[in-house]
Amino acid sequence: VTLEGGVAREIASAKPARGRPRSEEVRLRILDAAIAELEARGLKGVTIESIAERAGASKVTIYRWWPNKAALATDAFLAAVAPRIAFPHGASALDDLRQQMISLMHVLTGRWGAVIASLIAEGIHDDEVGEAMRTRWLGPRRAAGRKVVERGVASGEIRADVDPEVVLDALYGPIYLRVMLGHGPLDAAFAKRVWAAAVHGIAAPSKRTRARR
């Protein structure tokens, strides 16, 4: 069950495989080249031609397996990043969430931040990319996160009346926002403050604020 290869044409299992089989080696060379180019120049600066040249492959070969640059970039990105992100499972659900939030921040701060942002932006116009980012990048992380939230609700750490989705948006939203807009630092201090605000809320506690439910 590979995560990658999503956009690429699925190998129809039934076919008796006539002719020369697809070269796995070429496919990997292309993905590697794409990753290298993405890191070096960002989605916008990358061209299919430069990837082809670096991979020692022909453009046609690329076009046979990926419909366009964004699809290839998505595949390359996911192949490179997906393996590096794991989900911890500790005693406290809240602690697990905090841990995840911080490790995501590290990823976004690193050299993949700009690539992710580019892909997200691309996904706005290109539905296939958007779908891929939702299904293959965000989806798995969300699913795992949701489970942690539900665990926290069960254990009484997290209020029962909040939407788990909204909890995740509240934790990750501020981080993505700063990644994309760069209007403030993305450091440990920021993480701590976001965490505090999300956990305890921003309303002054004594006053029993009833800000219109």
Partner DNA sequence: GATTAATCGAGACGGTACGTCATGTCTTAGC
Partner DNA sequence: GCTAAGACATGACGTACCGTCTCGATTAATC
Binding site for DNA (CB under 7 A): 16-23, 26-27, 47-50, 55-61, 63-65, 68-69
Q: From the list DNA, a second copy, none, which binds 28 (C-beta under 5 to 8 Å, kind-based)?
A: none
Q: How many residues does the chain have?
A: 213
Please identify which residue in 1, 14, 91, 124 interacts with a second copy, judged by CB under 8 A: 124
DSSP letter (8 states) at residue 156: T
Residue 208 interacts with, from a second copy, DNA, none (CB under 5-8 Å by kind) = none
Size of the site for a second copy (CB under 8 A): 66
- Here the tokens at position 164 are 């788990």
3-state secondary structure of 89: coil
Shortest distance, position 13 Cβ to a second copy, whole Å: 26
* Residue number with CB closer to a second copy (49 or 163): 163
Interface with a second copy, residue 90, by CB under 8 A: no
Nearest Cα to 141, choosing from 103, 185, 198, 186? 103
Is 125 a binding residue for a second copy by CB under 8 A? The answer is yes
Q: Is 57 in the site for a second copy (CB under 8 A)?
A: no
Q: Which long-range contacts (CB under 8 A, 24 or more apart) does 174-183 make?
A: 175/101, 175/104, 175/105, 175/108, 176/108, 179/108, 179/109, 179/113, 179/116, 179/117, 180/117, 180/120
**What does the alpha-carbon distance between residue 130 and residue 70 come to, in Å, rounded to a whole number?**
10
Residues of the shown chain interacting with a second copy in the complex, contacts defined by CB under 8 A: 42, 44-45, 92, 94-95, 98, 114, 117-118, 120-125, 130, 133-134, 138, 142, 156-163, 165-167, 169-170, 172-178, 180-184, 190, 192-205, 207, 209, 211-213
